[in-house]
Amino acid sequence: MRKIAILIALTTASPAAAASGPFFSLGNTDFIVTLGFLLFIAVLFYFKVPTLVIGMLDKRADGIQSELDEARALREEAQTILASYERKQKEVQEQADRIVKHAKEEATLAAEQAKADLQKSIERRMVAAEDQIKMAEANAVKQVRDTAARIAIAAAGDVIAKQMTATEGNKLIDAAIGDVGEKLH
């Protein structure tokens, strides 16, 4: 197994094997890579790429900062609007509470007024009912009197008719005519 590992190590190229000879020769790959890297850096500086990159990063940072400022301003505006709506909501709630309180007071007053009106109506109906009862009693008494008077008159007429003679009847008629004449004149 050891022989295979040594064989693999010898057959594979290693960076140390490529860098043989003096460092500052074109045959040394390390020197060539270093030169290429330095040339790449020089081209970047010649075309002002770092300045462009820094400018782009600054522009990006400014854009991010402006977005943050705008977000902060929007947040403050949203908080102001929220506070305004909370105040308005509180005012509306207070107004609603006042309206409900006023409505309850009016309902209480209306209920009391309705009770008073009902009491007056009941009293008026009681008085009217008592008046009707008194009138009914008076009518009943009058009817009884009238009926009693008719019966008494009829009975008296029968008694008088049986006991009276024609001459006495004529005398009574003449006396009644005389009384009527005196009372009319």
pLDDT tens-digit profile of 108-123? 999 999 999 999 999 9
Q: What value does the mean pLDDT take over residues 153-178?
A: 78
> What is the reported pLDDT for 13?
41
Q: Where are the domains of the chain?
A: 27-184
CA distance 78 to 67: 16
Give the pLDDT score at 153: 81
Mean pLDDT over 52-75 rounds to 95
pLDDT digits (tens, 9 = 90+) for 1-25: 555 545 454 444 445 445 566 887 8
pLDDT (0 to 100) of residue 72:
96
Q: 19 CB contacts (<8 Å, ≥6 apart)? A: 28, 29, 30
**Arithmetic mean of pLDDT over the chain:** 85
Token pair, residue 94, equals 């207070």
Q: Across residues 31-54, what is the average pLDDT?
A: 93
pLDDT of res. 39: 96
pTM: 0.39
More confident residue, 27 or 164: 27
Q: How far apart are CA 177 and CA 174, in angstroms?
A: 5
| The predicted structure's pLDDT at residue 112 | 92
Whether residue 101 is predicted with pLDDT greater than 50 in this model: the reply is: yes
- Whether 28 contacts 22, CB under 8 Å: yes
pLDDT one-digit tens code per residue, 120-143: 999 999 999 999 999 998 988 888
